[in-house]
Amino acid sequence: MNRMIKGKKNMLRNIPKILPPDLVKYMMEMGHADYLVIADAGFPGTAHSKRMIRMDSAEIPELLEAILPFFPLDYFVDYPVRLMQKLDYEPEVMIWKTYEELLKKYDKDHAFKQFKYLDRLDFYKEAEDAYVVIQTGDTSRYGNIILQKGVCV
């Protein structure tokens, strides 16, 4: 019998509260080799996406940590994780170390070996082909990240 317990909503278990229902739906709809982009606050998401979810109060590392346990990376490609290339004269991007730690922690298939760095305009082109772009309120420089979905085994 499917009844609601008094005072409780019918909910799924163990889904982090940071993940909005639309994002969970899109992640489940994605097929092998589809892209998911997690973008910073300055990313031109409306101009470079088919589907976009705004999460202005989210920071990219916390969102990445919520997504990765559910999101297999594509181990059929050399670079399932892509970043926007910084300019040579700019300082080191510290958030990339955080991404690397999270990827190593949650990549059960060992698909992630190293990042591929894309020129800004090439990054935008890949984002246009992404299944979904999540635009956060994160203001970290070069915080944008592309994840390519793999096979869930």
Catalytic residue among 35, 79, 99, 124: 124
What are the strands of the beta sheet with 145-148, ordered from one edge?
A: 52-55, 132-136, 35-39, 145-148, 81-84, 116-118
Angle between helices 60-67 and 95-106 (to 10 degrees): 10
Tell me the residue type at 47: A
- 79 catalytic? Reply is no
- Do the beta carbons of residue 15 and residue 9 sit within 8 Å? no
- 74 catalytic? Reply is yes
Backbone φ, ψ for residue 78 (5° rounding) = -75, -30
Catalytic residue among 35, 40, 48, 74: 74
Report, in angstroms and rounded to the nearest whole number, the Rg of the chain calculated over CA atoms: 16
Catalytic residue among 32, 78, 119, 122: 32
DSSP-derived letter for residue 102 is H
Please tell me whether residue 86 adopts helix, strand or coil conformation: coil
- Do the beta carbons of residue 138 and residue 59 sit within 8 Å? yes
- 124 catalytic? Reply is yes
| Active site residue ranges | 32, 74, 124
